[in-house]
Amino acid sequence: MLAGKRILLIIGGGIAAFKIPALIRLLRQQGAAVTPVMTTASEQFVTPLTVSALAGEKVYGDLFDLTDEAEMGHIQLSRVADLVLVAPATADLMAKMAQGLAGDLASTLLLATDTPVMIAPAMNVRMWLHPATQRNLVLLKGDGVQVVGPDEGDMACGEFGPGRMAEPEEIAAACAAALTAGPLRGRRVLVTSGPTHEPIDPVRYIANRSSGAQGTAIARALVGLGAEVIFVTGPAEVPPPEGVTLVQVETARQMRDAVQAALPVDAGVFAAAVADWRMATQSASKIKKGASGLPVLEFAENPDILAEVSQMTEGRPGLVVGFAAETDDVVAHATAKRIRKGCDWILANDVSPETGIMGGSENAVVLISETGAEPWPRMGKAEVAQRLAARITEALGAG
Ligand code: CTP
């Protein structure tokens, strides 16, 4: 996803710097070259030796290092990359960037660069919410700086709230999206995929035959068009695509929470085969055979994630695409389903065993929208994905 790209990684001095070695590995696994620059403070949290070893390059650190200047002047250093990534972007670095200060190598590079800049803020929740930081954030966004995160959660300082640096995977995905010149660049798309598993007891669960192949192919096609993709997947057979923000879940309720956390998005594609039911009560210990005869499983209904998102009154994605797995009267059932759930499009497919579609490599779908039913010829799942991604691009006015 990042093959042939060079990222100038400016590492700020915050506790989140401990995640930087993992980030460097991910970026390099995806084919990027990483040139690290460390502030003096960051060296308190991660050693230059670790950073250099993982990046496979020297670490730049001091503005007035004569050897560095002889090898590559700081102005030139600021221009060699395809993207300048600041992670963790501390409150101090953000303030320096917003004000155009250039007192050390990191801030000087940021002032001198003519390449796109992305920041991954990380700081204490009060510092993040402080009007000064929020003001700086507005200024930076106004200057075209892209922002990934921060996430909300437990923080190293013991507080809870927004300010935790985005996970390395999310940052790497944002870099991939920023560096892929495609019509969906700058658009956020959510894709759900795979089956869900609903536990019966600690060792048994209810599942379905979804392999996750179609959802994975769709996510891959969207990434290929430059979208930032949040990929929420149940336990699928196929490996997840590269270049996405990966959220792995097991149950329908976990998938619902992950979907809600991913909003707002420009479009949502709900390809997951979500279990309609879960156990009304899940046994905490393994159910034993014998004594009390055959077990009777009592079900409770799972949340309908697609319907919930489709029917949001505020913050609904601009385009919501559902799937309909049917075994008979495909178009009639799927048309009714589209209206019942409130989504914009439904990709309906016949999953009768004789079609070999569920778990297979091909798909034959009918695109159902307000304007009617459009059957697509039987084709590979990757082609279905590409065709759908192209239609999404068109619908978002991004073509
Ligand atoms: N879906 C969902 N949450 C659920 C069930 C389904 O988000 N709890 C989504 C699927 O991801 C898919 C669509 O709804 O996009 C249709 O799923 P399908 O299983 O075909 O429909 P059901 O809701 O199960 O309806 P029915 O039982 O009538 O077939």
pLDDT for 53 equals 98
Residues touching ligand 1 (Cβ under 6 Å) are: 192, 252, 270, 272, 274, 276, 302, 304-306, 322-325
pLDDT digits (tens, 9 = 90+) for 234-291: 999 998 887 788 899 999 999 999 999 999 999 999 999 999 999 999 999 999 887 6
- Residue 129 CB contacts under 8 Å (≥ 6 apart), including other chains: 161, 162, 163
Answer whether residue 148 shows pLDDT above 80: yes
- The sheet with strand 117-121 has its strands ordered as 33-38, 6-11, 83-89, 117-121, 146-147
pLDDT for 158 equals 80
CA distances from 26 to 52, 64, 172 (A): 15, 31, 7
At 379, is the secondary structure helix, strand, or coil? Answer: strand
82 labelled binding-site residue:
no
Residue 121: what residue type?
A: P
CA distances from 21 to 25, 34, 155, 169, 244 (A): 6, 11, 19, 12, 19
- Report which DSSP code applies to 114: -
Pick left, alpha or beta for residue 124 (phi over 0 → left; psi -120 to 50 → alpha; otherwise beta): beta
Q: Is residue 175 annotated as a catalytic residue, yes or no?
A: no
Q: Tell me the C-alpha distance between 293 and 272, whole Å.
A: 35
> Which is it for strands 245-248 and 267-270: parallel, antiparallel or unpaired?
unpaired
377 labelled binding-site residue:
no
341 labelled binding-site residue:
yes
Ligand 1 atom closest to Cα of 323? 15
Q: What percent of the chain has pLDDT over 90?
A: 74
- Residue 149 CB contacts under 8 Å (≥ 6 apart), including other chains: 120, 121, 122, 164, 165, 166, 170, 171
State in Å: Cα 55 to ligand 1 middle: 44
Contact 350, 330 (CB under 8 A): yes
For ligand 1, atom 9, name the residue with the nearest CA.
306
Q: How confident is the model at residue 371 (pLDDT cuts 50, 70, 90)?
A: very high
State in Å: Cα 269 to ligand 1 middle: 12
Q: Tell me the C-alpha distance between 216 and 191, whole Å.
A: 8
Token reading at 24: 């460097």
- Determine the straight-line distance between the first and last CA of the chain, rounded to whole angstroms: 21
State in Å: Cα 324 to ligand 1 middle: 7
Ligand 1 atom closest to Cα of 252? 8
State in Å: Cα 398 to ligand 1 middle: 28
Token reading at 393: 């691009």
Q: Of 225-234, 242-251, 330-339, give the lowest mean pLDDT range.
A: 242-251
pLDDT for 7 equals 97
Ligand 1 atom closest to Cα of 309? 7
For ligand 1, atom 21, name the residue with the nearest CA.
324
> Which is it for strands 277-279 and 117-121: parallel, antiparallel or unpaired?
unpaired
pLDDT for 36 equals 97
Q: What is the mean pLDDT of residues 61-65?
A: 76
More confident residue, 48 or 359: 48
Q: How confident is the model at residue 352 (pLDDT cuts 50, 70, 90)?
A: confident
Q: What is the mean pLDDT of residues 152-172?
A: 87
Contact 368, 331 (CB under 8 A): yes
Q: Tell me the C-alpha distance between 277 and 302, whole Å.
A: 5
At 11, is the secondary structure helix, strand, or coil? Answer: strand
Q: How confident is the model at residue 155 (pLDDT cuts 50, 70, 90)?
A: confident
Instruction: Give the chain's mean pLDDT.
Output: 93
Query: Cβ-count burial of 95 within 10 angstroms (0-12 exposed, 13-18 middle, 19+ buried)?
Result: middle
Phi–psi pair at 58, nearest 5 degrees? -70, 155
At 330, is the secondary structure helix, strand, or coil? Answer: helix
For ligand 1, atom 27, name the residue with the nearest CA.
276
pLDDT digits (tens, 9 = 90+) for 180-195: 878 998 899 999 999 9
- What stretch of H or E contains 324? strand 319-326
For ligand 1, atom 20, name the residue with the nearest CA.
324
More confident residue, 24 or 174: 24
323 labelled binding-site residue:
yes
pLDDT digits (tens, 9 = 90+) for 120-133: 999 999 999 999 99
State in Å: Cα 274 to ligand 1 middle: 6
Catalytic residue among 157, 280, 287, 300: 157
| Closest listed residue to residue 164, CA positions, set 89, 99, 237, 238 | 89
Q: Tell me the C-alpha distance between 385 and 216, whole Å.
A: 9
State in Å: Cα 190 to ligand 1 middle: 16
Answer whether residue 333 shows pLDDT above 90: yes
Ligand 1 atom closest to Cα of 334? 20
**Cα 198 → chain centroid:** 24
- Report which DSSP code applies to 60: B
Structural domains of the chain in order of their starting residue, each with its CATH number: 6-179 (3.40.50.1950), 188-395 (3.40.50.10300)
Contact 125, 159 (CB under 8 A): yes
Q: Tell me the C-alpha distance between 175 and 173, whole Å.
A: 5
19 labelled binding-site residue:
no
Q: Which of 251, 260, 274 to mutate to test the pocket of ligand 1 (most atoms within 8 A of CB)?
A: 274
Answer whether residue 47 shows pLDDT above 80: yes
Answer whether residue 66 shows pLDDT above 90: no
231 labelled binding-site residue:
no
Q: How confident is the model at residue 154 (pLDDT cuts 50, 70, 90)?
A: confident
b/e per residue 13-24 (b: at least 16 CB within 10 A)? bbbbbebbbebb
Measured from the Cβ of residue 55, the count of other Cβ atoms closer than 10 Å reads 21
Q: Which of 306, 311, 344 to mutate to test the pocket of ligand 1 (most atoms within 8 A of CB)?
A: 306
Q: At what angle do helices 20-29 and 168-179 cross, to 10 degrees?
A: 40
